[in-house]
Each structure stands twice: as structure tokens, then as C-alpha cells.
Copies of this chain bind each other. A is one copy, B any other.
Amino acid sequence: MPRGKLYLIPNVLAENTAEEVISPQVKEVISKTKVFLVENLRTTRRYISSLKLGVKIEELHMEVLDKNSSPESINRLMQPLFKGADIGVVSEAGCPGIADPGALAVEYAHKKGIQVVPLSGPSSMFMALMASGFSGQSFAFHGYLPIDKRERVNKLKSLELESSKQSRSQIFMETPFRNNQLFKDVLSSLSPGTKLCIAKNITGSDELIQTKTVGEWKQNPIDLHKVPTVFIIQSF
């Protein structure tokens, strides 16, 4: 029996944007797929319903694949592939597989020779970089920075140093309710001439993406509390 494929299916970043940002291919794959591994059951059901594909949500087989999923549980979750069923992986927001539990499923698929098919869609990290104006010839993504203040400030300084040494843009994020604290630390610990791109609520109605120097941001800081935000710095 031919094996199923593992589809990496993008989710929206902001509410009520599916009709605009989701491609026909993503819709087609979702409408043909019966088995899903999802980071969040509720938001995935809402997302699939919002696409108005005529899919009966209650007939889909959905299991949770999140940061608490053990590598051991992956074997069980992936069994439908060997019976010929395709599996769709869906994150809570954006594209699965990057800084995200979906990577465990992908790793397993490669080991077993299962075909992995990434579908294009919105990614806050990637779209922030596109819109930052930084060269993008060389960049690094660092995920979430340390929570401890001293460690975080040290990390920020080391990212700034690496940026100027390697001409490398540095991308990082924070849990939205800690954004303002991170923003404050960036402004107080980095050089005034370092460039900082703030990309806030990408694809949302109040999307804001601006690149200024740290010195300029200090004069006009903005509120990022509880709003999904990507930070990118470039030092020269």
C-alpha cells in the first residue's frame, strides 16, 4: 500500500484573515485530509471551519501534537501514514515545523522515508524579516530569549556583537505579555546606533512594522503588551 504524505499546513496569524491570506492549495489539501496533528484543537477546528470548505469537522481525526508530546508518542500518532492516509500538521499560528512541535513529526517522517510536503503561508518571523529592510543575506533566528533579566541582557549584548562582527541580522521573540519588558531591555542595553525592527501583529488590522535606531525608538517607544511581536536587530 502506498504511504500517505505529511503535509505542513499554515495557519493564520491574525483573526479573520483566512479568506485573504490562505492559498487555494492549502484549502485543497485541508479538504482532502482526514487526519490532523494539531497544536491546539479548538483553534484548528475554528480555522478549518472558517475556510468554508464543506468539511465536517466532527468526522476529522485530530490529535494533539504540542510541546508536551514525547518523541515516543510520535510513533503512534504517525501510524495512519502507513495505512495510506495523509496527515496534516497545523500549528496554533503561522507555519508548522519551525520553532514548533511539528518538527518532531517531520523528523520522524524523514527517518521512515515518508514524503514531507511544506505548504506556503504566513510566518511572522519570515514576514518581519522581509519587511525589516535588513539585507537578509545573513541572518539568524534565536527563538525566545532567557527570562532572567541579567541573562537576557547578556544575550542581547552578545547578539548585537555577533551582528556587527558577522553582518548578521538577529531575530528573536518573546511571550506577548513580556514584550514590553524585552523592548525596555533592548532599548536600555543596546547601542543607540543599532537598528531595531519592531514587527507587531503581522497581517492584523493594526499591523505595524518599523525599523529605527535604538536611539530613535527610545524617544518614541510604543506599547507591545500582549501583541504578537517579532524583534530584529542589526548592528554595524
Contacts and interface: CB of A to CB of B under 8 A. Distances in A.
A109 interface: yes
This chain: how many copies in the complex? Answer: 2
A203 to B, nearest CB: 7
A57 interface: no
Interface residues of A, number: 57
Interface string A190-230: 00000001000011000101111000000000000000000
- Is chain A's binding surface mostly helix, strand, loop or mixed? mixed
Contacts of A22: 23
Given A121-B120, A138-B142, A133 B97 contact: yes
A107 B116 CA distance: 36
20 contacts: A8-B131, A21-B25, A95-B126, A98-B126, A98-B136, A99-B135, A99-B136, A100-B136, A106-B133, A109-B133, A110-B211, A110-B212, A116-B209, A117-B207, A118-B130, A118-B131, A118-B209, A120-B123, A120-B203, A138-B142
